[in-house]
Amino acid sequence: MSFDLSSRLAERRAAHLYRQRPRLTSPQDVQVTVDGQQLLAFCSNDYLGLANHPEVAEAMVEGVRRWGVGGGASHLVIGHSEAHHQLEDALAELTGRPRALLMSSGYMANIGAITALVGQGDTVLQDRLNHASLLDAGLLSGARFSRYLHNDADSLNKRLAKAVGNTLVVTDGVFSMDGDLAELPAICAQARARGAWVMVDDAHGFGCLGEQGGGVVEHYGLSVDDVPVLVGTLGKAFGTAGAFIAGSEELIETLIQFARPYIYTTSQPPAVAWATLKSLQLLREEGWRREHLARLIARFREGASALGLQLMDSATPIQPLLIGNSERAMQLSAALRERGILVTAIRPPTVPQGTARLRVTLSAAHSGEDIDRLLGALQQALSSLPEISA
Ligand code: PMP
């Protein structure tokens, strides 16, 4: 007996699902160099264009001078610096929650929060389009785990009626592959009526939604009672790395005691926390970034629908073009690349079967002309591949 890895890889290749990593030789920005080719990129999550902001970069350098390059230990041992602490206070203020807890990544924040809050004898209910880290956390928790239809209050309600023990309803704030918002007012009202808690992973909403960039909870004006567990990531609109969980004093103390991915991992480098404090300030104060982004989104949607492309119901910087067939999505991505444009094709199992798409993401660092270049290249790519436009 041996592990037959080559057949597994060959199957994946044959199904046009083989994943590859573009190798950047430039900083990640809207203009990137991949394998020596300069490309205009529409696939980063750097929604506000802060990943290369000189003041954020300078803060990182200053952080390195003050704290060195590594966290050195877990938070509970000796890895919790003044930089981490100040960032937690600033994140609590941004989210309007009493406390926030820094985590090393969004994936770990989701695993940590869910496994610390529910276990055997409890229930976790999740939107079927939730991010993989939430679904994995649900399985790992040992709680009864059920997925409700996407954004469907009736489907959620049926499951809430059968729930046992402590019940956690979990949803993305902005769905990462579709770009639409969770219907949080309805979801929160139902959960509260049944004594369940709501957890929102707003990885893609922070910085983009809300007057001050406070994300989906600011957008809908939801309190800590509506959404007791709020997760955000720092590697997207904040432009840095890491994540946080925000909520009540008791929630954060519970996570410090029981969230294993918090307890047993090295803290993020303090310099990253220091840089994030700067990007948080820019994210809040520079409202023009959100306004510019909104104009780019409108320009792209108008142009794409004029080309007959299938947009999704999204008003966020995530603007997927639904293609359906995985091979076609790959062909279209390659045809764009020949024209100097980088857009990633997203295929199953990341998205449901038959819904392969080009995941276009827009950034405040793009210009109106960049959008026009993308639209022009899409038009040419479509006519070079007639079976796609059919
Ligand atoms: N949640 C969502 C909705 C995400 O899209 C992602 C990452 N793309 C994560 C969590 C994981 O965050 P991180 O990259 O910080 O691990």
Contacts of residue 271, Cβ cutoff 8 Å, sequence gap at least 6:
60, 61, 62, 63, 64, 66, 67, 68, 69, 83
Residues annotated in a binding site for pyridoxal 5'-phosphate: 106-107, 176, 204, 233
- Tell me, what's the pLDDT at 16? 82
* 318-324 β-sheet, strand order: 318-324, 356-361, 344-346
Number of H-type helices and E-type strands within the chain: 15, 13
Cα dihedral 147, 153, 157, 158 sign: negative
Calculate how far, in angstroms, residue 242's C-alpha sits from the geometric centre of ligand 1. 9
Q: Which pLDDT tens digits describe the chain residue by residue (390 residues)?
A: 789 999 999 999 998 888 888 889 988 899 999 988 999 999 999 999 999 999 999 999 999 999 999 999 999 999 999 999 999 999 999 999 999 999 999 999 999 999 999 999 999 999 999 999 999 999 999 999 999 999 999 999 999 999 999 999 999 999 999 999 999 999 999 999 999 999 999 999 999 999 999 999 999 999 999 999 999 999 999 999 999 999 999 999 999 999 999 999 999 999 999 999 999 999 999 999 999 999 999 999 999 999 999 999 999 999 999 999 999 999 999 999 999 999 999 999 889 999 999 999 999 999 999 999 999 999 999 999 866 443
Could you tell me the domains of the chain? 16-48+287-389 (3.90.1150.10), 54-285 (3.40.640.10)
CA-wise closest residue to 196 among 121, 125, 295: 125
* Annotated catalytic residue, options 204, 219, 292, 366: 204
Residue nearest to atom 15 of ligand 1 (CA): 106
Give how far Cα 354 sits from Cα of 176, 326, 361, 385, Å: 17, 7, 21, 19
Residues annotated in a binding site for substrate: 19, 131, 350
> Does the predicted interface ipTM exceed a cut of 0.85?
yes
- Tell me, what's the pLDDT at 387? 60
Classify residue 96 by burial, with Cβ atoms within 10 Å: 0-12, 13-18, 19+.
Answer: middle
Q: Which amino acid is at 367?
A: S
Q: Is 176 a catalytic residue?
A: yes
Contact 326, 25 (CB under 8 A): no
Question: Which of 176, 208, 240, 350 has the most ligand 1 atoms within 8 A of CB, as the residue to mutate?
Answer: 176
Give the span between the Cα atoms of 30 and 370, in whole angstroms.
Answer: 9
Does the global pTM surpass 0.90? yes
